[in-house]
Amino acid sequence: MATQMSSARRGVATDEMKQVAKDEDVTLDWLLPKIASGSIIIPSNNTRPQKIHNVGIGKGMKTKVNVNIGTSTLNVNIEEEIEKAKVAVKYHADTIMDLSDGGDVGEIRRALLDVAPITFGTVPIYEAYNFGV
């Protein structure tokens, strides 16, 4: 499946690009070349089952609010992390980064994705670290 960048390079405006253009009050003619060049990104995972509100990040875009959450080896409380994610969504965070490095990181990530219909990132090396310890 095509990426946002490859679509922009072909001159194809995706639904995500149209949404970002509307949210940012810019034209698609202005936005597409910037996505094509990589100066603006739209983190969008087309395998994610739920529809999320995508955001544009980069030069010329509005400032975004990111919320960092996650367990540690000293505090693994999935319910607490779920509540943090819900609060982030309630107060209109643009993105969430799950920095979990304690507990079953995959299970934690899946639970957080279920309650957070916004752009969501992780640090894969943290999960790899858990397998190596």
The total of other beta-carbon atoms located within 10 Å of residue 88's CB is 22
Indicate whether 125 pLDDT > 90.
no
Predicted model pTM: 0.87
Indicate whether 129 pLDDT > 80.
no
18, 35 in Cβ contact below 8 A? no
123, 56 in Cβ contact below 8 A? no
pLDDT tens digits, residue range 71-110?
998 999 999 999 999 999 999 999 999 999 999 999 999 9
Q: Which of 7-11, 24-28, 126-130 has the lowest mean pLDDT?
A: 126-130
Long-range contacts: 19-25, Cβ < 8 Å, 24+?
Answer: 19/53, 19/54, 20/54, 20/55, 20/56, 20/61, 23/55, 23/56, 23/62, 24/56, 24/61, 24/62
Q: So what's the pLDDT on residue 126?
A: 74
Percent of the chain with pLDDT over 90: 80
- What mean pLDDT is predicted for residues 23-45? 96
Q: Which of 116, 88, 112, 115 is nearest to 100 (CA)?
A: 112
Q: So what's the pLDDT on residue 133?
A: 60
Alpha helix (H) residue ranges in the chain: 4-9, 15-24, 28-37, 78-90, 105-115, 124-132
